[in-house]
Amino acid sequence: MTTSVGVRERIAIRAEQEIESGYYVNLGIGMPTLVANYIQSDKQVVLQSENGLLGIGPYPTENKVDPDLINAGKETVTAIPGSSYFNSAESFAMIRGGHIDLAILGGMEVSETGDLANWMIPGKMIKGMGGAMDLVHGAKKIVVIMEHVSKNGEPKIVKSCSLPLTGKAVVNRIITDRAVIDVTKEGLLLVEVLEGFTVEDIISSTGAKLIVSENLV
């Protein structure tokens, strides 16, 4: 993986590998929206936004900005040919009906059993819980992307979450700036160590027990 881009971009580039041609994908607010910039042109992918757009295109250039065309994070976007517009009720029916193949979400904490906390920090001002609570139960696969440790150096992958939960046992895979970890019935499985880090680095910066895969990349 290239080191010429920032940490968030490195994570987004690795997360793009989770997207397969033919997928309907929801990208969460924040870092996950960056993944759209790196989807390979040979992949036939449809991006869905819970505010009512199916067929999101790339971010607009300055002369193409339409203030009425936004994603769930209030960012201006474009729409690809054949895209569809609909209300939020229909959008959430799509999510709850199991029609989203993959949701890539941000995270504040993920537990060893796949619990996800990503919607609020107690005492901090929030706009609302958003669509994550529906996505973690409606999408077929949940991938969480985040930095491995907090700004204070504390692990974000923990034995049990201390922050309010978005969902229990909902995460399938975690991608950080240091590693790729799968949530399995046996525990957290370290499947990939990213450039610049070692297995020991990952173990020491993770707040839960890790099983090292025999096929570690």
Active site residues: 50
Closest to 71 (Cα-Cα) out of 21, 35, 125? 35
* Residue 96 burial class via C-beta count within 10 angstroms: exposed 0-12, middle 13-18, buried 19 and up: middle
User: Residues near 136 by Cβ (< 8 Å), separated by ≥ 6?
Assistant: 103, 105, 116, 142, 166, 167, 170, 171
C-alpha triplet 66, 72, 115: angle, nearest 5°: 160
Is the C-alpha dihedral spanning 16, 13, 52, 135 positive or negative?
A: positive
Closest to 155 (Cα-Cα) out of 176, 170, 141? 176
Distance (Å, whole) CA 42 – CA 175:
23
